[in-house]
């Protein structure tokens, strides 16, 4: 009976417009530090997803995660993906979780994992007061506009300037950055992140990254991702007007040749 209900729900939910919530599952609930675990995603929107091992139940966000060993996978239209994650001890003690964060949708889902060989600590009954950084995306801009290559529908890059401010009470040191660019609503290419160093409380900083787009370039594109826990989403539209202009030149020349080569008979 339960199987029949689940099957009926699976068949009817797409017809009713119901989308399953993003979820993650592991091939095992316990592993040792240094081992590799398989993470399966289901019900995720299309796009890039960052997977990390985090301590402290990820209470402090990505600051509790082993950023250097995180992996990025691409979810296609099926809403599913699988990735292998090496379990390096996170900067914060366990209880540990595996966290999956959608770069495009900015959704984070976690599931607990028992990590042997890593520091363990009991979860406090009340969270102690702590000073944390809090990054805010103040502004984004394309100072040079679209790449000239994009105007001909070809692959190319253009700089994107991102202004970041630390509104927290502690310095943000080498905050993790995950950015991608591509056609709006589709998986994008990973952008090489800049080195931010340390951003002091109240400090505002502007960094520049190169935004790549692969041919054929046409229509709306989007740059999305996260800088620590700050969500970035910006974009523009570009059309191959230069290519259209090139195609129009031979047409005009041919038309002119026909007009001037046809002799009008004398009356």
pTM score, whole prediction? 0.54
Structure-block tokens of residue 60: 């402090």
What is the pLDDT at residue 262? 56
What is the pLDDT at residue 9? 43
Structure-block tokens of residue 4: 């029949």
Residues of the chain with CATH 2.60.40.10: 135-243
Beta-carbon contacts of 138 under 8 Å, excluding residues fewer than 6 positions away, are 163, 164, 165, 204
Residues 108 and 100: beta-carbon distance below 8 Å? yes
Alpha-carbon distance of 130 to 126, in angstroms, equals 12
Quote the DSSP letter at residue 150. Answer: G
What does DSSP say about strands 189-190 and 177-183: parallel, antiparallel, or unpaired?
A: antiparallel
Taking residue 240's Cβ as centre, other Cβ atoms within 10 Å add up to 19
CATH tag, 135-243: 2.60.40.10
- CA dihedral sign, ordered 75, 76, 77, 80: negative
What is the pLDDT at residue 125? 46
Mean pLDDT by 10 residues, the chain (267 residues): 42 54 93 93 90 92 88 89 93 93 81 90 57 90 78 81 92 90 81 89 92 80 88 81 61 62 57
Beta-carbon contacts of 180 under 8 Å, excluding residues fewer than 6 positions away, are 47, 48, 103, 104, 187, 188, 189, 190, 191, 223, 224, 225
> Is 129 exposed, middle or buried, given 0-12, 13-18 or 19+ CB atoms closer than 10 A?
exposed
CATH tag, 20-116: 2.60.40.230
Q: Which residues pair with residue 135 across a beta bridge?
A: 166
What is the pLDDT at residue 236? 80
Alpha-carbon distance of 101 to 61, in angstroms, equals 11
Residues of the chain with CATH 2.60.40.230: 20-116
CA proximity to 115, closest of 82, 100, 99, 93: 93
For residues 108-119, b (16+ Cβ closer than 10 Å) or e, as one string? bbbeebebeebe
What is the pLDDT at residue 161? 92
């Amino acid at each position: 009976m339960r199987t029949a209900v689940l099957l009926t729900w699976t068949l009817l939910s797409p017809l009713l417009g119901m989308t399953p919530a993003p979820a993650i599952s592991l091939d095992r609930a316990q592993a040792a530090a240094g081992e590799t675990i398989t993470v399966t995603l289901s019900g995720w929107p299309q796009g890039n997803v960052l997977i990390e091992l985090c301590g402290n139940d990820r209470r402090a966000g990505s600051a509790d995660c082993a950023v250097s060993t995180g992996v990025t996978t691409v979810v296609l239209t099926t809403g599913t993906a699988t990735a292998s994650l090496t379990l390096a001890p996170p900067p914060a003690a366990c209880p540990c979780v595996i966290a999956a964060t959608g770069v495009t949708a900015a959704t984070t889902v976690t599931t607990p994992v028992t990590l042997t060989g890593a520091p363990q600590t009991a979860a406090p009954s009340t969270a102690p007061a702590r000073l944390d950084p809090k990054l805010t995306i103040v502004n984004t801009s394309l100072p040079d506009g679209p790449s000239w290559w994009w105007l001909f529908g070809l692959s190319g890059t253009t700089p994107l300037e991102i202004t970041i401010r630390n509104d927290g009470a502690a310095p943000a040191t080498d905050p993790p950055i995950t950015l991608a660019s591509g056609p709006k609503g589709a998986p994008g290419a990973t952008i090489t992140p800049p080195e931010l160093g340390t951003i002091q409380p109240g400090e505002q900083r502007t960094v520049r990254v190169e935004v790549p787009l692969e041919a054929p370039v046409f229509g709306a594109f989007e740059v999305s991702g996260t800088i620590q826990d700050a969500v970035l989403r910006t974009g523009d539209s570009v059309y191959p007007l230069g290519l259209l202009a090139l195609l129009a030149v031979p047409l005009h020349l041919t038309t002119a040749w026909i007009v001037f080569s046809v002799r009008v008979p004398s009356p």
